[in-house]
Amino acid sequence: MKFQRLLSALFLIAACVLSTGANAQNNLIKSASGVAVVTTEQVRAELLAWAPEGVEAGKPVWLGLQLAHQPEWHTYWKNSGDSGLPTELAWQLPAGITAGDVTWPTPKKIAIGSLANYGYEGTVLLPVPLMVAPGFDAPNLDIKLTATWLVCRLECIPQEGAFTLSLPVRSSSAAHGQAFQAAFAATPKPLPSGSSQLEVSGNALKVSLAGLPAALQGKTLALYPETSGVIAPAGAWQQAWQGALWTAQLPLSSQRTESPAQMPLVVAVNDAAYRIEAPVKGDWPAVAAPAVVSPALQAALQANTAANALPQSAPSVGLLAALLGALLGGMILNLMPCVFPVLAIKVVGFVHVKNQATRLSHGLLYSAGVVLSFLALGGLLLALRAAGEQLGWGFQLQSPLMVAGLAALFTLIGLNLAGLFEFGNFLPGRVANLEAKNPGANAFLTGVLATAIASPCTAPFMGAALGFAVGLPAVQALAVFGAIGVGMALPYLAASALPGVGRALPRPGAWMVTFKQLMAFPMFATVVWLVWVLGQQSGIDGAGALLGLLVLMALAAWALGLRHARPRTRTLLASLSIALLAVGIWAIGPNITHEKAAPTAAESALWQAWEPGRVEQLTAQGQSVFVDFTAAWCVTCQYNKKTTLADASVLADMAAKNVTLLRADWTRRDPAVTAALAQLGRNGVPVYVFYKAGRAPVVLSEILSVDDVRAELAKL
């Protein structure tokens, strides 16, 4: 195919525009002793002190933990809301010194999906007053603090720091006075209860606040209950002003665990915040069972897991075993449906070459294209992970733009194979002759193309090898990626080296035109798959937009490839079709990158969405859990989903064993899923895992069978 060299080059250019970013490792970080500053990838934590008149009884002495968050990261208020944990401070102070409670600045409401949390972004200081006993006499005030905090973006990372500080008792320490004064200004001002009322009415709490400043009247206020587990933070609630009286009706949480007699509330607008603590009237409804999430998270804080450490249950392999698994997995990739269309191109080219030496050189060049492409993808993956990006194998198809680009590429290949146009008809003669002058270039670039479309697949034996590879030094990791390429290229290289294969091939003839046109249909089938993948990422509008643009691109290719039309007619049709394609990209192209809408409750009846901490929560309740780590672009995943995971006997056994089914969707890049896979020693999908309290996670084979799943279910 004369256009194949240029199209493959275009693919390589597109692969280089993958976005990079920084993300954090999902581990607990602890500072060295003897420091006042602890820095992680998400937070800079510093212990500050302010004693403007020295350390004496009756004089103001303040300590505070200042947290400076990286963009998009946050920690939590004293009531964290639907999820999260408040920052906790544990002091070690000399005799005669007592620490008070944290003076919490006013938080902000942080929405994450359907949840609502209360916390802090940017920089926040948590002041704590010190009470100095009369007669305290020491040259220095030696302070030790152990702080624990939960920092979250979409994923959450428990962290802790150990801080020490020594203050001269006889001299003032006013360096951080401005920071403390700013924290005090952000603290809610007390509001006398007066005629304010809190009353329980059914499943709602009615609030009536009097005495708010006149400047607030008519404004929409934010409300933060200090007592957790009472109000539904994300629930719909109403507020109104009745003259100077502010009223609100707040829904009680369906998981309410408290029935307080006093209910402290904070109301805020812009920089003004007020706190009221009033008795609650009325009868509380029955409370729900105590939640188990917070104890689990608290245990995680105390565990202080080492960075990147795998659980004891995580499978491990040696380097030689990883190389062997990579080699076998690469060979099996040739049997994957996603690779068939590209191999069909090689069959056509293989028949054309009768000279044994030429066939061998083409086989070597094809193998070089495959191996070098796997090394390039592996190197890019390792480089991005070293930069902090949470990525895994198949990462390139997590980008909707990359999926759309591949769909366009394979559409053009299919149209060329079908005979709609010849690329050489509208290329300059010198460019069109490149293929004739460099016949080996097609072999090399076909290897590149085969790797591009095969890389999202994870064949048997590859899962453990890839998971092991990403934790190795770069040279050893690249050896594993290279072994996959060698395995994939090996069958074709062997065929090109055996003289008997050439003698068994039919002679070139008219049948090859028919065969070439027939091979267009596997290309179009690949496009159907890619459009479906995009539909999983961007919804029906994204898939429809891509189909429309592919039609316009086909029109442009047809117009540019007209051979028998008059030059003026050809120019007019080509200009019009290119203009239509440009308008289409401008008008409907943005739909390709839109987020897909969340599944409805009916769609989630059998499978629940996986989320960080969900497995731990369920197993803590004694529940067995099965997790399907999947992605729309993973052909093996979809095969297992439609066969074994849809089998009536498997589903019946799952129900009989009361197994909760969770699906971790990796179709779009998700650092939390990537981290969960890494904990299992995996770096690609599919991965299938059984979890049960008291035993190690059980990772099943990439190719699921009904018997294997049912056998594992029988052990639960």
Whether this model's pTM surpasses 0.75: no
Q: Tell me the C-alpha distance between 635 and 643, whole Å.
A: 12
* Token pair belonging to 320: 């030689």
The pLDDT of residue 598 is above 70: no
- 181 lies in the same domain as 235: no
State the total domains in the chain.
Answer: 4
- 393 lies in the same domain as 477: yes
Give tens-digit pLDDT for 649-671.
999 899 888 999 999 988 777 88
Give the Å distances, CA to CA, from 139 to 97, 132, 166, 169.
14, 14, 10, 6
What integer is the mean pLDDT of 239-252? Answer: 83
- 105 lies in the same domain as 252: no
| % of the chain with per-residue pLDDT over 70 | 73
Most confident of 42-56, 249-263, 424-438: 42-56
Q: For every residue of 552-569, which 3-state class applies, written as one string?
A: HHHHHHHHHCCCCCCHHH
What integer is the mean pLDDT of 270-280? Answer: 83
- 144 lies in the same domain as 201: no
Q: Is the bond into 60 cis (omega within 30 degrees of 0)?
A: no
What integer is the mean pLDDT of 117-133? Answer: 89
The pLDDT of residue 156 is above 80: no
DSSP character for 644? G
Give tens-digit pLDDT for 380-436.
777 766 665 555 555 566 678 878 888 888 888 788 878 887 755 555 545 445 555
**Within 10 A of 709 (CB to CB), how many other CB atoms are there?**
23
Cβ burial, residue 48 (10 Å; 0-12/13-18/19+):
buried
Most confident of 259-263, 363-367, 662-666: 662-666
Q: Is 649 helix (H, G, I), strand (E, B) or coil?
A: helix
From 143, 164, 186, the end of a domain falls on 186
| Residue 308 CB contacts under 8 Å (≥ 6 apart), including other chains | 25, 27, 471, 678
Q: Tell me the C-alpha distance between 621 and 616, whole Å.
A: 9
Q: Is residue 191 part of a domain?
A: no
What integer is the mean pLDDT of 32-58? Answer: 78
The pLDDT of residue 535 is above 70: yes
Among 522-526, 631-635, 669-673, 697-701, the minimum mean pLDDT is found in 631-635
What integer is the mean pLDDT of 344-356? Answer: 62
The residue that leads in pLDDT, 513 or 174, is 513
Instruction: Give the chain's count of helices (H) and strands (E).
Output: 21, 24
* Token pair belonging to 329: 């997995």
* Among the listed residues 332, 317, 682, the one whose alpha carbon sits nearest the alpha carbon of residue 484: 332
Model confidence at 290, pLDDT cuts 50, 70, 90, reads very low
* Among the listed residues 378, 364, 609, the one whose alpha carbon sits nearest the alpha carbon of residue 484: 378
Give tens-digit pLDDT for 491-505.
778 877 777 666 666
| % of the chain with per-residue pLDDT over 90 | 9
| Residue 615 CB contacts under 8 Å (≥ 6 apart), including other chains | 625, 627, 662, 691
Model confidence at 104, pLDDT cuts 50, 70, 90, reads very high
What integer is the mean pLDDT of 232-249? Answer: 79
Q: Tell me the C-alpha distance between 85 and 28, whole Å.
A: 14
> Mean pLDDT over all residues of the chain?
76
- 151 lies in the same domain as 262: no
What integer is the mean pLDDT of 441-449? Answer: 77
Q: Is residue 575 part of a domain?
A: yes
The residue that leads in pLDDT, 185 or 21, is 185
Give tens-digit pLDDT for 573-594.
888 988 998 888 888 888 887 7
The residue that leads in pLDDT, 354 or 449, is 449
The pLDDT of residue 369 is above 90: no
Which pLDDT score, from 0 to 100, does residue 471 have? 62
Residue 553 CA neighbour count, 13 Å, CB half: 20
Cβ burial, residue 193 (10 Å; 0-12/13-18/19+):
middle
Packing angle of the helix pair 356-386, 439-454 (nearest 10 deg): 40
Model confidence at 628, pLDDT cuts 50, 70, 90, reads very high
Which pLDDT score, from 0 to 100, does residue 625 have? 94
The residue that leads in pLDDT, 30 or 194, is 194
What is 157-216 written as a DSSP string? EEEEEEEEEEEESSS-B-TTHHHHHHHHHTSPEE---TT-EEEEETTEEEEEE----GGG
The range of the structural domain enclosing residue 120 comes to 37-186
Which pLDDT score, from 0 to 100, does residue 235 have? 66
At residue 69's C-alpha, the angle toward residues 470 and 295, to 5°, is 75
Residue 47 CA neighbour count, 13 Å, CB half: 26
Q: Is residue 32 part of a domain?
A: no
Most confident of 26-35, 62-71, 80-89: 62-71
Which pLDDT score, from 0 to 100, does residue 509 have? 64
- 137 lies in the same domain as 274: no
DSSP character for 435? H
Query: Alpha carbon 499 to chain centroid distance?
Result: 50
Q: Tell me the C-alpha distance between 231 and 258, whole Å.
A: 10
- 68 lies in the same domain as 130: yes
From 567, 593, 619, the end of a domain falls on 593
- 347 lies in the same domain as 414: yes
At residue 677's C-alpha, the angle toward residues 671 and 681, to 5°, is 135
- 256 lies in the same domain as 357: no
- 274 lies in the same domain as 408: no
- 114 lies in the same domain as 258: no
Q: Is residue 427 part of a domain?
A: yes
Model confidence at 456, pLDDT cuts 50, 70, 90, reads low
Which pLDDT score, from 0 to 100, does residue 711 have? 92
The pLDDT of residue 105 is above 90: yes
What is 272-292 written as a DSSP string? EEEEEEEEEESPPPPPPPPPS
Query: Alpha carbon 285 to chain centroid distance?
Result: 39
| Residue 321 CB contacts under 8 Å (≥ 6 apart), including other chains | 465
Q: Is residue 422 part of a domain?
A: yes
Look up the CATH number of the domain holding residue 232.
2.60.40
Which pLDDT score, from 0 to 100, does residue 629 have? 92
Look up the CATH number of the domain holding residue 679.
3.40.30.10
Model confidence at 151, pLDDT cuts 50, 70, 90, reads confident
Which pLDDT score, from 0 to 100, does residue 75 have? 92
DSSP character for 309? P
Q: Tell me the C-alpha distance between 438 and 445, whole Å.
A: 11
The pLDDT of residue 28 is above 50: no
Report the residue count for the chain. Answer: 716
Give the Å distances, CA to CA, from 595 to 417, 431, 529.
34, 40, 19
Q: Is residue 292 part of a domain?
A: no
Q: Is 90 helix (H, G, I), strand (E, B) or coil?
A: strand
- 372 lies in the same domain as 253: no
Q: Is residue 602 part of a domain?
A: no
Look up the CATH number of the domain holding residue 140.
2.60.40.1250
Which pLDDT score, from 0 to 100, does residue 120 have? 92
From 186, 221, 250, the end of a domain falls on 186
The pLDDT of residue 19 is above 50: no
Q: Is residue 90 part of a domain?
A: yes
